Amino acid sequence: MNQNIVMINLLFNILLFIIFLGIILYTFFYNKKHIWKLVLLTILSFVLINFLDWKYSSIAFILLILPIFFYKRLSYSMLVSISMIGSLLGAFFVLNYYLNYDNNFMILFGILSVVFICVMAIYGIFHNNIIKFFIASNLIQFAFVFLDLSVADLTGKISTLGVIQIFNYVIAGTLLFITIGILNEENKFKYISQMQGYYYRDPHIAIFACIAAISLAGLPGLNIFVSEWLLFKTSFGINPIITIWGIFAALLLFIMYFKIVYIMLSGRRVKREKAHFTLQLYNWMLGLAAVIFGILPFTQLYILGLFI
């Protein structure tokens, strides 16, 4: 195994640990009976990344599809686990595929990815169900991973575009899943509209949820904006259509994610409550990472440069 592969695997192990740590803390406080499932899924993912041929990680596409058909049967913690780990393994598979094979349809795949993002963003804008919203969000962010790798393959910039989207999504996506999950478990919410005025009930969790949402929306100053800026800047030199569609998709995503911020800040709830301190501390870590990597983009580029 050459040094490059070792470092790529190390990066994905770190990202897997970040996801696992966040979800297991959430599951411990709110859904203990599903801890063993999370541990088993994490061990399987660890084995796929480190000990089996990378082609076996194609199981990720099954994980990405499962929530679409079985979201009513999955607990929230398992939905989060399957979605986030599915995206991570999917990124691992696609990255290795691009590193090992040539493909003559990268431009087509890139355009189709942007169109898919637009369609799913429109779906997310008009959907009020929290679970369906998150399924759409996860598919959108994975499509961005696919788009980044398509553009990276065409330009030979795997070292920057190849892993930056999944790196940032693990931070912002995990933060959003956990913060909204806390609201969901403590208040049994099923719809986004039921979170109205929640900022005034638990400001800490609401602030972190807003940071995660506007980061996923690609707002300048937060970590995922760096990914999108590099993507659209690079794709313009390949085919301006990708960039134009990408900017349109970014506008749709802003509307889709900003509705969470708007609903949380509108209205007022008198009763105050606080989430568990350990979860708040974890949210602080992810929230600060989203801000630091957004304000100081060279920091995440430097870190990723150590691995690929």
Give domain limits for the chain. Answer: 3-305
Contact 139, 270 (CB under 8 A): no
pLDDT at 203: 86
pLDDT at 1: 52
Contact 273, 194 (CB under 8 A): no
pLDDT at 145: 87
pLDDT at 188: 72
Three-state SS across the chain?
CCHHHHHHHHHHHHHHHHHHHHHHHHHHHHCHHHHHHHHHHHHHHHHHHHCCCHHHHHHHHHHHHHHHHHCCCCCHHHHHHHHHHHHHHHHHHHHHHHHHCCCCCHHHHHHHHHHHHHHHHHHHHHCCEHHHHHHHHHHHHHHHHHHHHHHHHHHCCHHHHHHHHHHHHHHHHHHHHHHHHHHHHHHCCCEHHHHCCHHHCCHHHHHHHHHHHHHHCCCCCCHHHHHHHHHHHHHHCCCHHHHHHHHHHHHHHHHHHHHHHHHHHCCCCCCCCCCCHHHHHHHHHHHHHHHHHHHCHHHHHHHHHCCC
pLDDT at 38: 93
pLDDT at 241: 78
pLDDT at 274: 73
Distance from C-alpha of 162 to C-alpha of 94, rounded to nearest angstrom: 9
- Cα–chain center distance at 68: 17
CA distances from 217 to 63, 93, 113, 261 (A): 24, 25, 17, 11
Contact 147, 115 (CB under 8 A): no
Distance from C-alpha of 208 to C-alpha of 104, rounded to nearest angstrom: 42
102, exposed or middle or buried, with CB in 10 Å at 0-12, 13-18, 19+?
Answer: exposed
Residues lower than pLDDT 50 in the chain: none
pLDDT at 17: 97
pLDDT at 186: 62
Angle, in degrees to the nearest 10, between helices 297-305 and 277-295: 100
pLDDT at 49: 95
pLDDT at 187: 64
pLDDT at 157: 65
pLDDT at 272: 65
pTM of the model: 0.93
What is the residue type of 94?
V
pLDDT at 245: 82
